[in-house]
Copies of this chain bind each other. A is one copy, B any other.
Amino acid sequence: MTMSHRMKLRSFESVLKNYKAVFLDSFGVIKNAHGIIPGVIDSVNTLKEMGKEVIVLTNDSSKSPALLAQNFRRLGMDMVNEENIISSGMMALAFLKNKIKKGTIVYVGTKQSSFYVEETGRNFISIRDFNLKDIKDVSALVFLDDEGYDWQMHLNKTINILRMKSIPVVVANTDNTYPVSSTEVNIATGAIARMIEKISKKKFIYFGKPDSQMFMFAYERIVNKKNLKRNEILMVGDTLRTDIMGGNKFGLGTALVLSGNTSENQMRTYIKSTGIIPNYICPSIAMDHY
């Protein structure tokens, strides 16, 4: 796992032979702002034909797995269904369901993202609609999306909730930014939550790659079907800090693809400066790219 021999690009096809299952990040690996990345549909079909399990692992808590799958289908990719998608929102949902037994959960995000609090069976309310006078009812707060509320008005409200009451705060997406075009990014939920955490001096509970919990969740799902060892699974992602760091730590094989967040130039500098070293580097998951 030293770096020297890994800095050369390999075709995705050539790295597959040692693995019986593949975990794919979504944004930057399967799709980008323009739709499904060229060659990906054929590639996932081939993976299926080869008998390899395919699971999508995404730091996305803005939509339910069902809606994420529906989006894939609309873009022409119908072989990844709801059961094969694991979102960071699902970790937050599991935590909230298990640990919050009463009261109202305040969520910061869109109506669509509220899926992850609705499924807990608890009362829930958007930060937008919540009134500070009802502070006594609040039992938890969860960051789900960067959309669906007015940042100034409702982050100020969030800070005051946390000053008034000591409650568990869950962050369902650890990312700092997400791409919105080939040149521009938007600030993501993780960065917003870390600002609020720092101001409030609380300790928030973060879910999403590189945290082990998501990998474990995906691993358990696969182990129930096939009895695989961790090193028989390949994690494929476009981000060193989340996909590769998390995959390495969990004991999976890891492949960095250059079809998203990380360009070929940046890759060399960033691997060297951080010491986060993937097992392989591939241009994308398209089979015939090289």
* Interchain CB contact (< 8 A) of A275 among B168, B183, B191, B192: B168
* Interchain CB contact (< 8 A) of A156 among B156, B162, B168, B186: B186
Segment with Cβ contacts to B, from A12-20, A113-121, A197-205, A280-288? A197-205
Inter-chain contacts of A169 with B (CB < 8 A)? 275
Chain B: CB-nearest residue to A213: B212
0/1 interface trace, chain A 151-188, chain B, CB 8 Å (1 if under): 11001100110111111110000001100000111110
Interface size on A, residues (CB 8 A): 69
Inter-chain contacts of A39 with B (CB < 8 A)? none
* Interchain CB contact (< 8 A) of A160 among B166, B184, B249: B184
Interface centre among A103, A160, A194 (most CB of B within 10 A): A160
Chain B: CB-nearest residue to A205: B249
Determine if B230 and A98 form an interchain contact, defined as CB atoms under 8 angstroms apart.
yes
Determine if A177 and B199 form an interchain contact, defined as CB atoms under 8 angstroms apart.
yes
Inter-chain contacts of A32 with B (CB < 8 A)? none
CB of A250 within 8 A of chain B?
A: yes
CB of A1 within 8 A of chain B?
A: yes
Chain B: CB-nearest residue to A158: B187
Q: A1-B140, A2-B167, A185-B160 are in contact. Are A275 and B202 (CB under 8 A)?
A: yes
CB of A245 within 8 A of chain B?
A: yes
Inter-chain contacts of A271 with B (CB < 8 A)? 166
Determine if A103 and B2 form an interchain contact, defined as CB atoms under 8 angstroms apart.
yes
* Interchain CB contact (< 8 A) of A151 among B3, B138, B155, B167: B155
Inter-chain contacts of A33 with B (CB < 8 A)? none
Q: A156-B186, A231-B98 are in contact. Are A213 and B249 (CB under 8 A)?
A: yes
Interface centre among A98, A169, A245, A248 (most CB of B within 10 A): A98
A54 to chain B, nearest CB (A): 22
Determine if B159 and A177 form an interchain contact, defined as CB atoms under 8 angstroms apart.
yes
Residues in A lying within 8 Å of B, measured CB to CB: 1-3, 94-95, 98-101, 103, 132, 138-140, 146-147, 150-152, 155-156, 159-160, 162-169, 176-177, 183-187, 191-192, 194-195, 198-199, 201-205, 211-213, 216, 230-231, 241, 245, 248-251, 269, 271-277
Which 4 pairs between the two chains have the least Cβ-Cβ distance? A151-B151, A195-B195, A202-B275, A98-B251
The contact sample of 12 A-B pairs, CB cut-off 8 A, is A95-B248, A98-B251, A152-B187, A159-B187, A168-B248, A187-B199, A192-B195, A202-B273, A203-B245, A203-B275, A203-B276, A205-B245
